[in-house]
Amino acid sequence: MQRFAFAGRTCLITGAASGIGAALALDLAKRRAVLALLDRDAERLERVAALAREVGAGSVTTYVVDLSDGGDRLDLAAEIASRHGGVDLLINNAGVSLTGTFEQNRMADIEWLLEINLHAVIRMTKAFLPQLLARPGTHLVNVSSLFGLIGPPGQVAYATSKFGVRGFTEALRHELEPLGVGVTVVHPGGIKTNIAANARISGADPGGEQAAQARKFAEKALTMPPEEAARRIVAAIQSRKPRLVITREARAADWLVRITPTRWWQLTQGLAKRIS
């Protein structure tokens, strides 16, 4: 499969108003891509779109969509096909997190997280798959997580969603690559975004302790700038890399869970205590 060329290609990014999504938008804009940016935060999305236009994007369109609503996205796919003729690159990046143990988590919050982190990835891929299949040299990227490789306590809902993204993407890759569609699953580790600090609090949180712990974790453990993560993702797309694990800690965890799949957590508790 040939390397992916970005100039003039239509790239659709979800969760594009902040974090890795915004960094991807600006990186691709510098490569003269045509951008379709999606997020629920209209104000931030427009700011990213304006910056993308300034740095050289072929063109930029924005779509204010709340991925938690369970829509099939067929209307969105039809609108983008009408404007751009279809997409060449789909990056399912949007994601949210949830604090608390499984016992504490409310079912409504678990369902909310699964809808955004997993079901929206499936719905978007299903809606845009005909466009990817119809155009030559297209590519699909689904962003999983370090917690799609390991399942620590306190992350039951999040790990469930990200393991789901991993399995969905790996199986789909074997179906699509023979048809000319490249597929990449991304497992970011400690990227400095607001996902942990903005986690939804599920269940009782006396004194805001869970929220405070999430902020403290974000300050200590999430250190890689999203621009660096975006650069690595773009390089993986360009080379058609099927799997990308970002950050040294994520690669170490990936290795450790292969070596000792049932005891890795006990071996890492000391480190976890130092960064929690």
- Retrieve residue 110's tokens: 């678990």
All residues at 6 or more sequence positions from 137 whose CB lies less than 8 Å from its CB, including other chains: 1, 2, 4, 5, 88, 180, 182
- Retrieve residue 73's tokens: 């996205």
Using an 8 Å Cβ cutoff, are 87 and 61 in contact?
A: no
Give, in order, the Cα–Cα distances in Å from 176 to each of 85, 180, 239, 249, 253: 20, 7, 16, 30, 29
Whether 158 is catalytic is yes
Cα R_g (the chain), whole angstroms = 18
Q: Which of 4, 63, 158, 168 is catalytic?
A: 158
| 244: enclosing H helix or E strand | strand 243-246
| 182: enclosing H helix or E strand | strand 182-188
* CA 73/CA 124 separation, integer angstroms: 6
Catalytic machinery residues: 158
